[in-house]
């Protein structure tokens, strides 16, 4: 790695149209898992002006069986979707939680996919798809995440918290951030550029009101970033196009899974290409990416490396991973091949082994659908892949 360089990551708020779609899809995942922990869900969402469309494949006891909906199930789905949009805060003419047109095109899962995934007397549960999944951790922040992405997320989460609390009443739900940091000797030391575009109430694009919004954003950035990172040389671009009154699904269509770099590591690490939201944990796009992060984070937390990338690969219908790759980017204290040999002894890396170890068959996915799936605080059943409970086992096994 270079020792001195600039690096940039971006994030988007819970009100960004793609993130609205992600949150709706994960609300459906949580709804079905609350009814049936073994439910199969692949839910895609489209959002646009005054319209939400669901599509995808499902199987859920008590909700959708034998090609038919249970009584009241479709109404509960619509209610869940509207409550999700209401929580985000959309009550605009172009997108209002009470009045948008709703279309549900979810249908039964393919029997050919089911026969490969489901366990039987002859075989273990297979992966829900082929693919490659990556996990990453580094010691740039206490969350063991890339600093540029971590701060991008936290800026927008703070704006949303202030909006919900009423302390920033001029804000609307849609927003984007971008943080560029200067690294010296491989460590972040200063912010060279900050971009924040936030939807706002009418009138906050000129005069004193515009100045108030800009001052508020700069204050949030200064409070989120480490002390001394914002200097007189930091360049701010706040709503650089000028007015940002029309936003969210009214300003731009949203789709599930279009913000996978925001969801993961902000471009600081590879991404396998599969989205997370809208998928139950038999889909290794989601569960294997989570366990890869879990393992990489525990390796860094154990002091075995300052940076760690892990890759897993799977074939549809096959339970065991095809490969496991560990790269500590020259920062490791233990040979990567030894780590590769130890990890499968600590966590069984089959789809069922991952789901069991991390407790993924629960309605825990809604909070992950905005502000990143990684670098979050594990609380109760939520974000179990962020736990560092393998640290002592790793140290003992690799001593």
Residue 18 annotated as catalytic:
yes
In the predicted structure, residue 115 carries a pLDDT above the cut 80: no
Residue 218 annotated as catalytic:
no
Residue 35 annotated as catalytic:
no
Beta pairing, strands 187-200 & 323-327: unpaired
Q: What CATH number is given for 5-13+147-248 in this structure? A: 3.30.300.10
Which range is least confidently modeled, 83-87, 125-129, 169-173, 358-362? 125-129
pLDDT computed for residue 287 by the predictor: 97
pLDDT computed for residue 59 by the predictor: 93
Q: What band does 128 get if pLDDT is binned at 50, 70 and 90?
A: confident
HEC states along 98-121?
Answer: CCCEEEEEEEECCHHHHHHHCCCC
Positive or negative, the CA dihedral 136, 139, 143, 147 is negative
222-234 residue pLDDT tens: 999 999 999 999 9
What residues are designated binding site for K(+)?
44
Annotated catalytic residue within 35, 38, 55, 57? 57
Sheet holding 171-184, edge to edge: 5-12, 171-184, 187-200, 235-238
Residue 279 annotated as catalytic:
yes
pLDDT computed for residue 114 by the predictor: 60
Q: What band does 125 get if pLDDT is binned at 50, 70 and 90?
A: confident
Judge whether 256 and 21 are in contact, CB under 8 Å: yes
Judge whether 349 and 321 are in contact, CB under 8 Å: yes
In the predicted structure, residue 1 carries a pLDDT above the cut 80: no
Determine the Cα–Cα distance for residues 384 and 356; give it in Å rounded to an integer: 11
Annotated catalytic residue within 19, 153, 307, 355? 19
Determine the Cα–Cα distance for residues 312 and 290; give it in Å rounded to an integer: 11
Tokens of residue 263, six digits = 């969801």
Average pLDDT value for the chain: 95
In the predicted structure, residue 121 carries a pLDDT above the cut 60: no
Residue 285 annotated as catalytic:
yes
Residue 252 annotated as catalytic:
yes
Q: What band does 111 get if pLDDT is binned at 50, 70 and 90?
A: low
Number of Cβ atoms within 10 Å of the Cβ of 383: 20
Q: Among candidates 93, 136, 134, 130, which has minimal Cα distance to 331?
A: 136
As a whole number of Å, the CA-based R_g of the chain is 22
> Dihedrals φ, ψ of 148, to 5°?
-60, -40
Return the residue matching tokens 């992950």: 368
Residue 297 annotated as catalytic:
no
With a pLDDT cut of 90, the percent of the chain lying above it is 91
Which range is least confidently modeled, 62-71, 156-165, 332-341, 353-362? 62-71
pLDDT computed for residue 112 by the predictor: 55
Annotated catalytic residue within 78, 252, 320, 340? 252
Tokens of residue 173, six digits = 């739900």
In the predicted structure, residue 212 carries a pLDDT above the cut 60: yes
Return the residue matching tokens 């009101």: 209
Annotated catalytic residue within 40, 258, 307, 357? 258
Judge whether 24 and 81 are in contact, CB under 8 Å: yes
Q: What CATH number is given for 131-139+257-397 in this structure? A: 3.30.300.10
Residue 258 annotated as catalytic:
yes
Residue 395 annotated as catalytic:
no
pLDDT computed for residue 65 by the predictor: 84
Residue 335 CA from chain centroid, whole number = 31
In the predicted structure, residue 349 carries a pLDDT above the cut 90: yes
Return the residue matching tokens 């909006």: 163
Annotated catalytic residue within 176, 297, 357, 373? 176
Residue 398 CA from chain centroid, whole number = 31
Residue 19 annotated as catalytic:
yes
What residues are designated binding site for Mg(2+)?
18
What residues are designated binding site for ATP?
16, 174-176, 252, 258-259, 275, 279
What residues are designated binding site for L-methionine?
57, 109, 252, 283
pLDDT computed for residue 2 by the predictor: 81
pLDDT computed for residue 132 by the predictor: 97
294-343 residue pLDDT tens: 999 999 999 999 999 999 999 998 999 999 999 999 999 999 999 999 99
Number of Cβ atoms within 10 Å of the Cβ of 107: 12
Residue 283 CA from chain centroid, whole number = 15
Q: In the predicted model, what is the mean pLDDT of residues 171-199?
A: 97
Q: What band does 119 get if pLDDT is binned at 50, 70 and 90?
A: low
Tokens of residue 273, six digits = 């290409």
Residue 244 annotated as catalytic:
yes
pLDDT computed for residue 173 by the predictor: 98
Q: What CATH number is given for 17-117 in this structure? A: 3.30.300.10
Q: What band does 67 get if pLDDT is binned at 50, 70 and 90?
A: confident
Residue 253 annotated as catalytic:
yes
What residues are designated binding site?
16, 18, 44, 57, 109, 174-176, 252, 258-259, 275, 279, 283
Task: Report domain extents, the chain.
Answer: 5-13+147-248, 17-117, 131-139+257-397
Determine the Cα–Cα distance for residues 50 and 343; give it in Å rounded to an integer: 48
């Amino acid at each position: 790695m270079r020792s001195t360089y600039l690096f940039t990551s971006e994030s988007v708020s819970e009100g960004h149209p793609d993130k609205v779609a992600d949150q709706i899809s994960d609300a459906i995942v949580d709804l079905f898992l609350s009814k049936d922990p073994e439910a199969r869900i692949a839910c895609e969402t489209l959002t646009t002006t005054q319209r939400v469309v669901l599509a995808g494949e499902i199987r859920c006891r008590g909700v959708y069986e034998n090609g038919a909906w249970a009584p009241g199930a479709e109404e509960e789905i619509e209610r869940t979707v509207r409550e999700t949009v209401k929580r985000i805060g959309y009550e605009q003419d172009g997108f209002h939680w009470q009045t948008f047109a709703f279309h549900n095109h979810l249908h039964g899962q393919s029997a050919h996919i089911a026969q490969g995934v489901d366990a039987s007397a002859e075989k273990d549960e297979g992966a829900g798809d082929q693919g490659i999944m990556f996990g990453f951790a580094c010691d740039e922040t206490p969350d063991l995440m890339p600093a540029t992405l971590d701060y991008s997320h936290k800026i927008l989460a703070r704006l949303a918290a202030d909006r919900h609390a009423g302390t920033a009443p001029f804000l609307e739900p849609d927003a984007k951030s971008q943080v560029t940091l200067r690294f010296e000797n491989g460590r972040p030391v200063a912010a060279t550029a900050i971009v924040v575009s936030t939807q706002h109430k009418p009138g906050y694009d000129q005069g004193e009101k515009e100045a108030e919004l800009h001052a508020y954003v700069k204050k949030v950035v200064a409070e989120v970033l480490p002390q001394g990172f914002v200097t007189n040389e930091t360049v701010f671009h706040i709503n650089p196009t000028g007015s940002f009154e029309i936003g969210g699904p009214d300003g731009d269509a949203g789709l599930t899974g279009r913000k996978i770099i925001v969801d993961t590591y902000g471009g600081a690490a590879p991404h396998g290409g599969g989205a997370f939201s809208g998928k139950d944990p038999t889909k290794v796009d989601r569960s294997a990416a989570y366990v890869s992060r879990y393992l990489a984070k525990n390796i860094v937390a154990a002091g075995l490396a300052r940076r760690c990338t892990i890759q897993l690969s799977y074939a549809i219908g096959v339970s065991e991973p095809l490969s496991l790759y560990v790269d500590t980017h020259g920062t490791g204290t233990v040979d990567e091949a030894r780590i590769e040999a130890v990890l499968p002894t600590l966590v069984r890396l089959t789809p069922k082994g991952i789901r069991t170890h991390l407790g993924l068959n629960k309605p825990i996915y809604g909070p992950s659908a905005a502000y990143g799936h990684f670098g979050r605080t594990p609380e109760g059943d939520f974000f179990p892949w962020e736990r560092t409970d393998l640290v002592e086992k790793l140290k003992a096994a690799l001593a």
